[in-house]
Chains A and B, each alone.
Chain A
Amino acid sequence: MTYDAIIIGGGHNGLCTAAYLAKAGRKVLVLERRHLVGGAAVSEEIYPGFTYTVCSYVVSLLRPWIIRDLNLAKHGLHVLPLEAAFTPLPDGRSLCRWPDPHKTREEIAQFSVKDADRYPEFGKAMGQLARFAKLIIDKPAPDPATWSPRELMDLLGLSRKFRDLGDDMASLQFKLATMSSADFLDEWFESDVLKAPMSVSGIIGTMLGVRSPGTAYVLLHHYMGEIDGASRAWGFAKGGNGAVSNALAGAAVEHGAEIRVNAGVERVLLKGGKAVGVVLSGSGDEIRAKTVISTCEPRLTFLGMVGEENLPDPFVAQMKRYKLRGSSGKVNFALDRFPEFSARPGDGPHVRGDVAICPSIDYLETAYDEAKYGDFSQRPFLNLVIPSLLDPGMAPPGKHVMSAFVQYAPYHIKEGPSHWPERREAFGDAVTDTIAEYVPGFKEMILHRQVLTPWDLEQEFGLTEGNIFHGELSADQLLFNRPTAGWARYRTPVKNLWLAGSGAHPGGGVMAAPGALAAMQMLKERAV
């Protein structure tokens, strides 16, 4: 029996591709190495009674058209808005940004009246640019080297739209695309307390600092987020991010896709230079299909599953220099009681969003410097979410789970990545100690702690070098360069092998766009 398509990897992108292809009537098989689907979007009960949203932890850029196309709400996806962005400071002051502009204004005015005045203006400008950026992430990548008249028209259309932004906006867009997030914000604001939490969106998952050029661009993401079509920054999936994957799996299965867990792929089966199926690891079983779609990270896909000998040399060279360089870790806590922030006590709305530990630009930059020389940050940037406040089902009554995204934790520590297990607890302690500076008595309330270093992310979740985005989201690896020049349209140098994970355009994050766009491209080209 043959399938139309085998999808390697049951992460959110793989499931999304499967759902789209199955919906179009194709016979699809999804193969997942772990015992559950979801990849880096999973919820697991690691400690009895407590559900961790193990890796990714918020929903921001999940494309609304995918939610509609696949009817994900019917399959159990329920996104709860995260409506506050809270930044406690070690000196007891704090800043909280709210959906209500008046409340936010008052908060910012504590630190700078000038900034409070400019904040709405900034949001307006960003919103305008975000609309332009969406033109790019909801379509296959533009190809600047194209000679096809249709694509040239598309390019021209895109440059027209760019020009129609007006020169002030065009100039801003260019700055946004190239500047560092700290420099970019410096042009608008004076208060470090405001700039620091705004700037961090530019560094998440990258081996760069807020003062590194090119990081400003991701500021837009904050203004691009949509939940159910409404512009909103962040949301939290009821049940954790596993719920996103489960909904996608539900949609895929409903349309007839087959999903197998505990089915890791050893390599892609080739015949006459074409992909004809896969070989499973362990059993060595072969499964045949007309096409193979990998949603694994590109370097792993090509150098690990296809093999250098089956690829053209220049492509191998490109894959070897593909930058992964994971820079972040994750720590999940089961807590005996509510973690109270001394800067603003209580479990009010301010902690029902995300809590950013980043008191200043210098703090962030120092954290980066440590990582640059091969160590994890002693005082890292943390993005904390307390899911049990939003979804009480995630912890027993009165108890809580806390998710801590941690940066920086460089994969390449100076001892070498394989030495991460020896440093795991020290890393976890740095995170605990940092939180304890803001949450008195934090250490005493910890019932269980799950520490995921970049090494663990690689070993357990197949995120090569611990990179949460399947490859740095730097300008040299985006758009027509993702994963590499000439192969940004989901095709690969191996016939019948396609790429549909975060290593494909438009890249990482729980967007599901690469998975959906790849499926659409394949259907359009009648490749499956």
Chain B
Amino acid sequence: MRVVVIGAGVNGLVAAIRLARAGRLVTVVERRDLFGGIAAGEEFHTDYHHIGLTHDSAEVRGEVIKQLGLQGGYGLQLRPPAPLFIAEPDGRGLVLEEQGSELAERSIEAAEGLARWELLQEAFRPAVRMVLREEAPDVRQEAALLPLLKKGWMVRGIGEDHLLELLRIGPLCVDDWMEEFVEDPLIRTAVLWPALVGAWMGPRSPYSATNLLMDAASHEYEIIGGPAALVKSLLLAAADAGVSLRSATEAKAIQVSDGRATGVILADGEVLKGQVLVASAPSTLLDLIPAWKLPSRLVRDLTNVRVRGTTAKLHLALSGELQVAARGETFERMLLGASHPMDLERAFDDVKHRRLPRRPWLDVRLLTGDSAPEGHSVASIMVHCAPYDLDGGWTDEARAEFTERVMAVLEESCPGVRELVVHSELLTPPDLEERYGLPGGHLFHGERMVDQFYVMRPSLHLSRHTTDLPGLFVGSMGTHSGGGVTGGPGMLAAERMIATPR
């Protein structure tokens, strides 16, 4: 039984390994000349490497790592997340770490508030994890009412009070929710910003609390070496499982005959026969199959997936390390440019109005070791917020102005950074679309928002990884339980393919 996987991102690789181990003959085709999708590490300047477009690896599902045995023979190593430094104007900022004492030094009340918040996460965690681990229920089938009900009961297992609380929190804006625990705006910012990554939202947007709930429940460990190390490990496992990997190979179309998907037609005309798993963005289906061959509701659903990119990426090759002046120290993780939730909101306002951020906020990873020559370093910077559809377009002037604004924020905390820059690479949302095949330049193939989540990701008809065409499956981070670098959707899609009668 042959399977062709389109896209060698984390999900494509996870699915390929799982399927190959189940006895399928798997070929993965990748448009780019390297594997890993947004998780791939790249040499962006001679001898300077980054560790992936999104440099976070704390969302990789534990069960995927375990099931594929990545920690054993394939070299994957985990560690607790690195401490986060968050800057504040005219202040020392704050270092947030698991067992840190700085929080309590800053404010006992805030430390207690945050402890109460974390306790609540503990209570929600089993329910949230269950949702992320399992296949989405099939709400169309009468028979599925039972599993749905069962799920309901299990969620009830978290207790009536917590159930009601979960239902109350879900629709809140993340700033209101955090304010129930912590007054200090700097600490609120430090905790809530992840809810906004990959979301077309500011901290004042309702339902952003749901995103934070998801984040808080899934983060535990990060991978040493980041997403790039995960890709390395997956490639070893794929080779072991006998997966055939083809880079610089573009899928041109999906072959459909008698209403079934029967293979993939490559750009050079070669046909690879087999079942098809689309592990690229779900909407790429529309490029691979003529719309008239697809049910109209599928076309409509895929067209309606919201993918408005809000993030740009800046890679800096530095001839030294970024030192935070207020501390005289370097930090591996930094949040710069936002010390109050309203700073994040203003940056989102700019995206809304399609303009350059007046003051971008930066999620910075400082990479040393293998990433750069001795004594040098790489700053991997996710820049929020950058509109995909910038008024006037991303001209050279706009790019230069944007980079300038990022450098200005960096300079505030790390004076002298400009002198260290050996090379810089800016990827705007349109660049991300082009390089990584991310529609709308959106990091996750679909904005994180409750109506694009779980049974609705990417739509009610596709969330179980099957499509209306037999033999055709979807399994990218744009499907349940994505997005981000998680491997969850790939695993669920593979399981679904294995369980589906041919």
Residues of A bordering B, CB below 8 Å: 144-145, 163, 167-168, 170-171, 174-175, 178-179, 183, 187, 208, 211-214, 321, 323, 362, 365-366, 369, 372-373, 474-476, 480-481, 485-486
Contact = CB atoms under 8 A, between A and B. Distances in A.
Contact of B167 (A144, A174, A179): A144
B205 A187 contact: no
A183 B43 CA distance: 38
A213 B156 CA distance: 26
Nearest to B176: A323
Contact of B139 (A144, A167, A178): A167
Contact of B206 (A175, A187, A475, A486): A475
B450 A145 contact: no
A213 B306 contact: no
B170 A167 contact: no
B205 A212 contact: yes
B171 A187 contact: no
A124 B160 CA distance: 38
B451 A476 contact: no
B449 A170 contact: no
B207 A178 contact: yes
Given A170-B139, A369-B349, A476-B172, A213 B450 contact: yes
Interface in B275-334: 297, 304, 306
B176 A183 contact: no
B32 interface: no
Contacts of A171: 456, 459-460
Most chain A CB neighbours (cut-off 10 Å) among B167, B168, B342, B451: B451
A170 B206 contact: no
Given A144-B164, A175-B451, A373-B342, A170 B460 contact: yes
Interface in B66-80: none
A163 B297 CA distance: 18
Contact of A212 (B169, B206, B349, B459): B206
B204 A145 contact: no
Contact of A485 (B164, B352, B459, B460): B164
A211 B164 contact: no
Contacts of A145: 156, 160, 163-164
Interface residues of B, number: 37
A213 B204 contact: no
B165 A485 contact: yes
A163 B204 CA distance: 32
A208 B304 CA distance: 23
B460 A167 contact: yes
A480 B164 contact: yes
Nearest to A182: B352
Given A163-B139, A170-B460, A476-B169, A365 B352 contact: yes
Nearest to B349: A369
A163 B149 CA distance: 14
Contacts of A365: 352-353
A321 B169 CA distance: 12
Contact of B345 (A144, A372, A481): A372
A171 B297 CA distance: 12
A178 B164 contact: no
Given A144-B167, A214-B206, A365-B352, A183 B306 contact: yes
Contacts of B145: 163
The 10 closest A-B CB pairs, nearest first, are A475-B171, A214-B206, A485-B164, A171-B460, A145-B160, A178-B451, A213-B207, A476-B171, A213-B206, A476-B168
Contacts of A178: 171, 207, 449-451
A321 B178 CA distance: 12
B460 A213 contact: no
A351 to B, nearest CB: 32
Contacts of A485: 164-165, 167-168
A247 B90 CA distance: 62
A214 B172 CA distance: 10
Contacts of B204: 212, 372
Interface in B138-195: 139-140, 145, 156, 160, 163-165, 167-172, 176, 180
Nearest to A171: B460
Contacts of B451: 174-175, 178-179
Contacts of B205: 212-213
A321 B206 contact: no
A323 B349 CA distance: 23
21 contacts: A144-B163, A145-B156, A167-B460, A171-B459, A178-B449, A178-B450, A183-B306, A211-B352, A213-B201, A213-B206, A213-B207, A214-B171, A323-B176, A366-B353, A369-B349, A372-B345, A474-B206, A476-B168, A476-B170, A476-B171, A485-B168
A480 B165 CA distance: 11
Contacts of A480: 164, 167
B461 interface: yes
A168 to B, nearest CB: 7
Nearest to B167: A144
Contacts of B353: 362, 365-366
B39 to A, nearest CB: 29
A171 B140 CA distance: 11
Q: Which of B169, B204, B352, B456 has the most CB of A within 10 A?
A: B352
Nearest to A215: B206
B207 A214 contact: yes
A231 to B, nearest CB: 27
B376 to A, nearest CB: 42
Interface in B187-226: 201, 204-208
A213 B201 CA distance: 9
A179 B449 CA distance: 8
A320 to B, nearest CB: 10
A175 B304 CA distance: 11
A485 B167 CA distance: 9
Interface in B2-32: none
B206 A208 contact: yes
A476 B449 CA distance: 16
Contacts of B459: 171
Contact of A481 (B139, B168, B460): B168
Contacts of A214: 171, 206-207
A175 B170 CA distance: 15
A170 B349 CA distance: 32
A289 B171 CA distance: 39
Contacts of B140: 167
Contacts of A372: 204, 345
Nearest to A155: B152
A173 to B, nearest CB: 11
A476 B177 CA distance: 11
Contacts of A366: 353
Contacts of A212: 204-206
B357 to A, nearest CB: 14
Contact of B461 (A167, A211, A476): A167
Contacts of A208: 206
Nearest to A187: B304
A372 B204 CA distance: 9
B344 to A, nearest CB: 12
A254 to B, nearest CB: 41
B342 A475 contact: no
Nearest to B159: A145
A243 B352 CA distance: 43
Contacts of B208: 213
Nearest to B172: A476
Interface string B333-375: 0000000001001000100110000000000000000000000
Interface string B450-467: 110000100111000000
Contact of B170 (A163, A183, A475): A475
A178 B205 CA distance: 11
A39 to B, nearest CB: 28
A213 B449 contact: yes
A463 to B, nearest CB: 21
